[in-house]
Amino acid sequence: MESKPIVDVHNLTAGYRRRPAIWNLDFQIQEGKFTGILGPNGSGKSTLLKCLLGQITPYTGYAHLWGQNVDKVRHRIAYVPQKESVDWNFPATVMDVVLMGRYRPGRFWQRLGKKDKEAALYWLEQTGMNHLANRQIGQLSGGQRQRVFLARALAREPSLLFLDEPFAGVDAGSAERILHMLKLLIEQGKSIVMVHHDLVSAGKILDNAILLNTRLVASGPVSEVFNHENLSATYGSDLSILSDVIDLVTRNPGRFKDPRNQKS
């Protein structure tokens, strides 16, 4: 069954200080799919994510979610930033951070209630972090920090989840847990858009991929877009790993497996 587009990007050019980092992107992302944004460093992955989240304004074109401006649908999305983007010495417990996902703008009196605490506890359990609920966040490992960020995003109960390299600097156990959670979300009919670095694992865990190298190289199901031509256009042709990746994908398409336990 063909699913509906949840993200619609048209003629999108965006960047910083009047220097475009991405040019004339045109693609759609299907609902209920696990989609990866892939490309080398400097290919504009983060810029594209910032456009989708409405953190920067595009120079031309648009990035719509559910056919609307992102500002209209913020209650339906959530975001897991890179864990390096914050100061972990901040005085907050794990519970405090997860509760941050529960705030919704609009009301004057914005204190949190019992329902919010229950939701936060639920997601702490789901991410396996409930025993650390009262720990100061600075004492967490890299993988635990990423799980706290995931729990904070999921506490918003989003239909569409954005993640920025969630597996970077994360231990194998946490990576497995995070991947398991993401898989469950897809099974529940939610959509995921993830900026991802590792090409080998991408081939195994993603449904769809957007290959980016400041311009769009290809977008679509992994089994279709992961071919030699596209990957060398994205990463440059001198990567010997490319043929291995293509082999893997064609042998084993669209399967969820822990990327850390596989050898390329």
Partner 1 sequence: MISAAVLITSLLIAINASIGGTFLVLRRMGMLTDAIAHAILPGLVIGYLLAESRSSPLITLFAAATGLLVTLLIYWLNKYLNVWVEASTGMVYTSFFALGILGVTLFGENADLDTDCILYGELLWIPFRRPLSGTFLDFAPWAVWQQLVLLGLWAILLLPSWPIWKSISFDIDFARTQGLNVERKNLQLLALVSLSTVWSFEAVGAILVMGFMLLPAATAWLWVKRLEHMLALSIALAALSAIGGYALAWWINLDPSTTMVLVSGTFFLLSLLWQRKSTLRVG
Chain positions contacting partner 1, by CB under 8 A: 17, 53-55, 71, 74-75, 77-79, 81, 85-87, 89-93, 96-97, 99-105, 108-112, 136, 152, 156
Nearer to partner 1 among residue 29 and residue 205 (C-beta)? 29
* In the complex, least distance from residue 113 CB atom to partner 1, rounded to whole angstroms: 11
* In the complex, least distance from residue 55 CB atom to partner 1, rounded to whole angstroms: 6
Backbone angles phi, psi at 212, to 5 degrees: -130, 135
* In the complex, least distance from residue 46 CB atom to partner 1, rounded to whole angstroms: 11
Backbone angles phi, psi at 153, to 5 degrees: -70, -40
Cβ pair 181, 154 in contact under 8 A: yes
* In the complex, least distance from residue 139 CB atom to partner 1, rounded to whole angstroms: 9
* In the complex, least distance from residue 68 CB atom to partner 1, rounded to whole angstroms: 13
Helix (H) or strand (E) holding 120: helix 114-126
Nearer to partner 1 among residue 15 and residue 253 (C-beta)? 15
* In the complex, least distance from residue 65 CB atom to partner 1, rounded to whole angstroms: 12
**Cα–Cα distance, 210 to 194 (Å, whole number):** 10
SS3 229: helix
Helix-then-strand count for the chain, H and E = 9, 9
**Cα–Cα distance, 47 to 56 (Å, whole number):** 8
**Cα–Cα distance, 203 to 250 (Å, whole number):** 9
SS3 53: coil
Nearer to partner 1 among residue 111 and residue 251 (C-beta)? 111
Nearer to partner 1 among residue 104 and residue 255 (C-beta)? 104
**Cα–Cα distance, 200 to 245 (Å, whole number):** 6
